[in-house]
Chains A and B, each alone.
Chain A
Amino acid sequence: MNQAFSYIILGASIFSHLLPLIIGKRQNNALLWIYILTGFCFELVLTSFKRLIQIEGFDYHIIGNIYFITEFILIAFYYYARIFKSKVVFTWLLLSLLALYAVTFYGNTVVSGKGEGLFIVAFMVFSIIGLYRQLKNVTTKKIEQSQFFWVNTGFLLYAAGSLPIFITVDTLLQINQDTLYKLWIFRNVLNIIKNIIFAKALTLKE
C-alpha cells in the first residue's frame, strides 16, 4: 500500500468525524456528540500539528495520552447513566483503569498502546453490557430503531477490530514500524466505520 493511500485513509478517518457532528448537530449537548467533537479536535491536532509541536519542543505523546484518557472518561460517563447501577462500582472502575493506564505510560516517551488496549477492552465490555441491557428491556420497538444500539454497535466493532492493533503497538514501534503504519490504516478504516455508525445513531432520538 503506497503512502498516498494511507494519507487518504488518514484524512478520511479524521474528517469522518464531521459526518456525525453535522447530522447530530441538534443533539450537540449530548455526551456522544461531545465525544465525537473531542475525537475530531484531538486527531486533527495530533496529525496536522504533529511536526509543529515537536519543533516547539513539546512532548507530542503527552497529547496522545491525554486524548486516550479524555476519550475513556467521556465514554465511561456516556455509559454510566445507561449501564451502571452503582455509583461506587463506576467510580472504582474508572479510577482503577485510569491508575492502570498511568502505570503503563509512566516513564515512557511513547503513547501507551497497552493502556489504550485496556481502555479498548473496557469499551467492548461496556458495549456488550449495553446490548445485554437492551435485550433485557422487553419492548415492542425494534432494537435498530434505538440510538443506544447503534452506539454500542459502533463501539463494539471499533474496539474489537482495534484491540489486536493496540496490544501490539508498543512492540511494533520498537521493532517493526513499517508493519505498524500498515496496521494503522486498518485502525483508520475502523474509525471511519465507527463514525458512520455514530452518524446513523445521531439521526435517532436518544
Chain B
Amino acid sequence: MTDLPAIIIGIIAMLAMASGIIFFVVLYQRRVIKHQQELNELNKQKELELVQASVQGEEKERTRIASELHDDVGATLASVKLFLNSQNKEFGDRPVFVQSRALIDDTINKVRSLSHRLQPAVLKQFGLDAALKTFFESFSTTGQLKVVYHPAELPRMTEDKELAVYRVVQELMNNSIKHSDAAHISCSCSVAGNHFITSFSHDGTGLTESDFNEQLYKKNAIGLKNIITRLKSVGGSISFEHEAGFYTTTIAIPL
C-alpha cells in the first residue's frame, strides 16, 4: 500500500476512529456524571424525608406524653388535692395535710409546665413570638439569670418551621443553663430577605463554629445533633459568633 490516496484515506479513517473514541469518552463521562448527580439528589431527598419523618415521630410522641401528663396525671393530682381539701375540713389544719397539699400544688405546677414545654399550645395558636415570650418568661422569674426576649412583629410560618425554631431555641437555652455559666441571655427574631433569623446570645462560655463542628462528632452531643436534625428538616442553617464577651448563635430558616 504505497498509493498516496489510499494512505490519506487510511489517515482519515484512523483519525475518525480516534475522534470517535474521544467523543465517546466525553459523552459517556457526561452521562455518568449526570447519573451520579441524579443519584446524589435522590439520596439527599431520601435523607430529608427520613429526617422529617423522625422529627414528626418525635413531635407526635411529645404530644402524646404531654396529653397523658395533662389529662391523666394532672387530673389525678387534682383529684388527690380535692380529696386532701375535703379531709382538711374534717380534721383541721394538720401539718401533714398542709405539707402534702403544698407538695401536690408543686407537682401539679411542674406537670403543667412540663406538659406545656412538650406541647407548646401557644405556638400553635398565637405563633412563635408569643410562644418564645412565654418560654423565656418562665426563666426570668428565677432571678439568678437575666433573660431578655426582644418581641417583634413576626410573620407566621408553617407549623414545622415554627416548631423547629422553637425547639432549637429550647435546646440552646438548655445548653446555656447547663454549660455556659451565663449571667445574661438574650434572644431576638427578625426577617432578613427571605429568611427568618433568630439570634441567641449569652455572656457565658459558649461555642464557636469549630467547637460546634468538633462537638457534633462526639458520642454524647445529642442536643447538638437534634439541633442539626431540626434545621435540616426545614432547610435551615446555624452559625456562631463570639464578640465583645458574647457568644451569639444565629439560626436562619427560609421563609
Contacts and interface: CB of A to CB of B under 8 A. Distances in A.
Q: Do A and B come from one complex?
A: yes
B57 interface: no
A7 to B, nearest CB: 20
A135 interface: yes
Nearest to B7: A164
A83 B238 CA distance: 45
Given A135-B29, A142-B29, A142-B30, A165 B22 contact: no
Interface residues of B, number: 23
Interface string A99-125: 000000000000000000000000010
Contacts of B79: none
What range describes how many residues of A lie at the interface? Answer: 20 to 34
B2 A131 contact: no
A28 interface: no
Interface string A60-88: 00000000000000000000000000000
Contacts, number: 66
Given A157-B18, A157-B19, A160-B17, A186 B8 contact: yes
A114 B30 CA distance: 38
A160 B7 contact: no
Interface SS of A by simple majority: helix
Contacts of B11: 161-162, 164-165, 186
A138 B29 CA distance: 8
Given A131-B21, A183-B4, A186-B8, A142 B15 contact: no
Contacts of B4: 179, 182-183
Contacts of A144: 26
B2 A156 contact: no
Given A140-B37, A176-B2, A183-B7, A163 B29 contact: no
B2 A179 contact: yes
A153 B15 CA distance: 11
Interface string A146-177: 00010001001101111111001001100110
A134 B29 contact: yes
Contact of A161 (B18, B30, B33): B18
A176 B5 CA distance: 14
Given A131-B22, A138-B36, A160 B15 contact: yes
Contacts of A162: 11
A35 B30 CA distance: 31
A196 interface: no
B223 interface: no
A12 interface: no
Contacts of B28: 135
B36 A143 contact: no
A154 to B, nearest CB: 10
B222 interface: no
A18 interface: no
Contacts of A172: 2
A44 interface: no
A23 interface: no
Contact of B14 (A161, A168, A182): A161
18 contacts: A131-B21, A135-B28, A140-B33, A140-B36, A143-B29, A153-B22, A157-B18, A159-B18, A161-B11, A161-B14, A161-B18, A162-B11, A165-B11, A168-B1, A175-B2, A179-B2, A179-B7, A186-B8
Which 8 A/B pairs are nearest by Cβ-Cβ distance?
A160-B18, A164-B10, A160-B14, A143-B29, A131-B25, A156-B18, A179-B4, A161-B15
Interface of B: 1-2, 4, 7-8, 10-11, 14-15, 17-19, 21-22, 25-26, 28-30, 32-33, 36-37
Interface of A: 124, 128, 131, 134-135, 138-140, 142-144, 149, 153, 156-157, 159-165, 168, 171-172, 175-176, 179, 182-183, 186
